[in-house]
Amino acid sequence: MSYIGNQVTSVPHIVDVFSGDGGTDTFGPMVRSPAGVAAIAVFISGSYKTPGIDYTLNGSLITFTVAPASATNNIVIHHLGNGTSTQVPSDGSVTGTKMAVNSIRANNIVAGQITGNLIATNAISTNNFSAEANSKITGSGLIGSIIFGG
């Protein structure tokens, strides 16, 4: 089938399974933290449990009002609406031509994270720089050598 856009990929349905022991009321961690009680469906021995009455959530932990009975794999939590998986580009695969003009500005860079050893040789040229009245240097291109005089 033809389509426009990113390739469609399926996301596996996430299910957490725990075993009750008749005394423990808190279980986890779950595979992922649900956004809230509406993001999961909880069953104990096949019986649906009502959020806020039968259980509460705290991050990736679920706490039942009454400890589930002792049984193997009797607590089943279905995660609903998994959405899509996040696609992360491979290290080193994002080049300058793939970035929008002015997409990285000074307020997007954490102080001290770009140092001389992280800038490729001849990555910035001096002929594209200008000094502003407040002594900031602006420009783009390749650096050969810069001499500042006073």
**Other C-beta atoms within 10 Å of 18: how many?**
18
pLDDT over 70, % of the chain: 63
pLDDT at 52 over 50: yes
What whole-number distance in Å separates Cα of residue 116 and Cα of residue 118?
A: 5
CA–CA separation, 64 and 54 (whole Å) = 6
Sign of CA dihedral 21, 25, 26, 28: positive
- 3-state SS track over the chain: CCCCCCCCCCCCCCEEEECCCCCCCEECCCCCCCCCHHHEEEEECCEEECECCCEEEECCEEEECCCCCCCCCCEEEEECCCCCCCCCCCCCCCCHHHCCCCCCCHHHCCCCCCCHHHCCCCCCCHHHEEECCCCCEEECCCCCCCCCCC
pLDDT in tens, 68-105: 999 999 999 999 876 544 567 777 777 777 777 777 77
Which sequence spans correspond to the domains of the chain?
Answer: 15-79, 116-150
Q: What is the pTM of this model?
A: 0.51
